[in-house]
Amino acid sequence: MGKTNATTKQALAALVSALPHTPGVYRFLDASGTVIYVGKAKDLHKRVAQYFTSRSGESRKLWTLVNKIADVRHTVVPTETDALLLENILIKELQPRYNVLLKDDKTYPWICIKNEDFPRITVTRRMEKDGSHYYGPYPTGSMLKVLLELIRQLYPLRTCKLSLSPEAIAQKRYAPCLDYHISRCKAPCIGMQTKAEYDDNIEAVKSIIKGRLSEVRRLLQQQMQTAAAAYNFEEAQKIKERLAKLEHYQVKSVIVNPLITDVDVFSIIVDGKAAYGNFLRVVQGAVTQTHTIEMTMGIEEEREALLSCFMAEIVGIVGSLSRQVLVPFLPDHTFDHTEYCIPKRGDKLKLVELSERNGRLFRLEKLKQLEKTHPDRHTDRVLSAVQRDLNLPAVPEHIECFDNSNIQGAFPVSSCVVFRQARPSKRDYRHFNVKTVEGPDDFATMHEVVTRRYSRMLDEREALPQLIVIDGGKGQLRAAYEALQALGLEREITLVGLAKRMEELYFVGDSVPLFLDKHSSTLRLLMQLRDEAHRFGITHHRNRRSKALTTTRLTAIEGVGKKTAEKLLIAFKSVARIREASHDELAAVVGKKIAAAVKASLTPPDAADAVDDA
């Protein structure tokens, strides 16, 4: 579909000018009549008019959206909160291309207390408007299993589907089933349990599900005392056992702080084109409910708008928010009758951090699943993130990283590791023994090895990398850039320096470093490159140093040449063992004359031996 023509623009201008200054929801349609975007507004006229006002620096996606708008429709609602909730409903129903899309593809289980005489407690994945009470959803089956087991142990409730109307019970239509005989039900079907007693148990179950354990504990303690006062010690003992089970269940809950009563906690983790919202509900100091949703980023990419969208989704799930809501930052829309708090310290801050940690873990699980099930998609996602975060002109399918190693200028070496499609390509790794640099000069070393590496690639007409990572700060980066400049490659390859101090990134010509989120896939890949280059370089440096020191120590002995030194090392493995060997043992390998010279030279041990031993 092409751009809107002049006639369409005039029609849109007329539509926008007629929009009311009231809260509502607007919908943008393309030329085919498909809804491509749904938005909310406190003032419909002002909000929609903003899209058609020329702005510098607008995103390409927003520019594309505006040029596809062929029609605008709106719905007026009483309040901004109603607008937010209606927007959420329409987005899920219409799935517009340019909106934040909620990707909660799981159907989580709920606890349902049926709307019937002597209500049953069931588990369902489908909410129906039948007057029943629904609690949840529960993202983990283990949490739901523990809760249902506790309810079953504390309150034996019926599981049958019989219609227990007062008439049916009075007419004695039913007989007690096996559950009654094994004490899992008190047989209300034959009048062995009154409706009042059963309803009291149901209310206690509701309190447990909501996390209000103190109320249930207090009720059980009263019942235990009443039974004991009436000398009904057997019943008192049963109630005492129920109390112990209740305490055991509370220990299994995530206890935060008993002084924190009823709060809801929200957080948003943004990662490229996806965001992850986490919700925690805390009741009487324990986390009783948690929910995480993945969202695909749309036009509204501000974190405040994402948080509002996520909160609206949670309201649609749990019904209403607690009086106090903890957030890392304020959403762009706040719900009525709710107090928002951005904690700075203490247990409330720890709750927000716990919520963010849950979001990150959910994100990691998604990425691990994607990596296992669709490795190509995972690779594309990582490389696209690198391209976006580093503002690269092309996807970095071929990345190389350099690292220098030396001890006070001695035995200087450099390593080059190669990653293709975000994975190590070990057959392409290269070592460099530095030839032209004397003393500890990292900058000159970097200039030499970069020059050698890419001049050879040019000579052999090999494909050049899209990205080069330099282990170091501005100095090493400048040296590498000058080497590329001399080869005429400074415009063909992007250079970035990764400093160790705070994992900051440096770019040529920019004195201000870039700090990426420490959990970002881009930084993790660059750190993996840096660590691999360091490992590869250190291994080569250690081998070269050890060989040089050992050979020098032995070949310095009169009559011992390189071949003789190799014979000794093959036989005794190290200089330390050669020194400890007897004259006869040495003579068996190299003859009596050389054995005597070796023995005399290596006894007593000096500082050089200490180095060799190490």
- 299 and 198: one domain? no
380 domain-assigned: no
- Identify which of 129, 157, 158, 380 has the alpha carbon closest to the alpha carbon of residue 273: 380
571 domain-assigned: yes
pLDDT of residue 409: 45
- 304 and 322: one domain? yes
Q: Using alpha carbons only, what angle is made at residue 209 by residues 208 and 211, rounded to the nearest 5 degrees?
A: 65
Please give the Cα distance from 586 to 599 (Å, whole number): 8
CATH number for 566: 1.10.150.20
Please give the Cα distance from 187 to 190 (Å, whole number): 6
Are 426 and 433 within 8 A, CB to CB? no
Give the pair of three-digit tokens for residue 525. Answer: 């890949």
pLDDT of residue 341: 92
How confident is the model over 455-498, as pLDDT tens digits? Answer: 999 999 999 999 999 988 888 899 999 999 999 998 889 999 99
Give the pair of three-digit tokens for residue 118. Answer: 């002597």
- Which residue, 484, 514, 542, sits at the end of a domain? 542
Name the pTM for this structure. 0.46
pLDDT of residue 610: 37
Please give the Cα distance from 562 to 552 (Å, whole number): 9
3-state SS assignment for residue 359: helix
How confident is the model over 98-155, as pLDDT tens digits? Answer: 876 666 545 567 788 898 889 998 888 777 778 888 876 665 566 677 678 777 877 8
- 398 and 529: one domain? yes
Give the pair of three-digit tokens for residue 170. Answer: 């009075």
Please give the Cα distance from 524 to 469 (Å, whole number): 13
- 398 and 535: one domain? yes
Are 287 and 261 within 8 A, CB to CB? no
* Alpha helix positions (H), 431-561: 442-459, 474-487, 521-555
CATH number for 288: 3.30.420
- Whether residue 570 is predicted with pLDDT greater than 80 in this model: the reply is no
Higher pLDDT residue, 256 or 67?
Answer: 67
582 domain-assigned: yes
Determine the longest span between alpha carbons in the chain, in angstroms.
118
CATH number for 91: 3.40.1440.10
- 535 and 578: one domain? no
Please give the Cα distance from 138 to 595 (Å, whole number): 78
Q: Which has the minimum average pLDDT: 34-43, 208-217, 344-353? A: 208-217
How confident is the model over 597-612, as pLDDT tens digits? Answer: 888 887 764 434 433 4
376 domain-assigned: no
Q: Which domain holds residue 514?
A: 385-542
- 472 and 447: one domain? yes
- 438 and 495: one domain? yes
Winning range, highest mean pLDDT, from 8-12, 356-360, 465-469, 589-593: 465-469
Give the pair of three-digit tokens for residue 484. Answer: 């590329």
| Residue with token string 């071929």 | 398
- 213 and 66: one domain? no
Please give the Cα distance from 180 to 193 (Å, whole number): 11
How confident is the model over 52-99, as pLDDT tens digits? Answer: 876 545 566 777 888 888 888 888 777 777 777 777 777 777 788 887
- 390 and 538: one domain? yes
- 604 and 515: one domain? no
Amino acid identity for residue 556 in this structure:
A
1 domain-assigned: no
Domain tally, the chain: 5
Helix axis angle, 195-209 relative to 213-229, nearest 10°? 140
Mean pLDDT rounded to a whole number for the chain: 80
pLDDT of residue 411: 59
601 domain-assigned: yes
- Cis peptide upstream of residue 604 (ω within 30 degrees of 0): yes
Q: pLDDT tier at 406 (50, 70, 90 boundaries)?
A: low
3-state SS assignment for residue 312: helix
Please give the Cα distance from 437 to 249 (Å, whole number): 69
Q: Which has the minimum average pLDDT: 134-148, 159-173, 299-313? A: 134-148
Average pLDDT over residues 354-380: 77
pLDDT of residue 612: 41
Q: Which has the minimum average pLDDT: 40-49, 192-201, 230-239, 544-553? A: 544-553
pLDDT of residue 223: 81
Q: Which has the minimum average pLDDT: 57-71, 153-167, 332-346, 580-594? A: 57-71
134 domain-assigned: yes
pLDDT of residue 252: 46
- Which residue, 203, 218, 253, sits at the end of a domain? 253
Strand partners, 324: 263, 339
- Identify which of 550, 541, 607, 547 has the alpha carbon closest to the alpha carbon of residue 577: 550
pLDDT of residue 486: 92
**pLDDT > 70 in the chain, percent:** 83
- Whether residue 398 is predicted with pLDDT greater than 90 in this model: the reply is yes
Give the pair of three-digit tokens for residue 275. Answer: 């965001």
pLDDT of residue 129: 76
- 239 and 143: one domain? yes
Q: Which has the minimum average pLDDT: 261-265, 318-322, 408-412, 503-507? A: 408-412
Average pLDDT over residues 319-330: 88
- Which residue, 99, 129, 146, sits at the end of a domain? 99
Higher pLDDT residue, 214 or 306?
Answer: 306
423 domain-assigned: yes
- 398 and 491: one domain? yes
CATH number for 461: 3.30.420.340
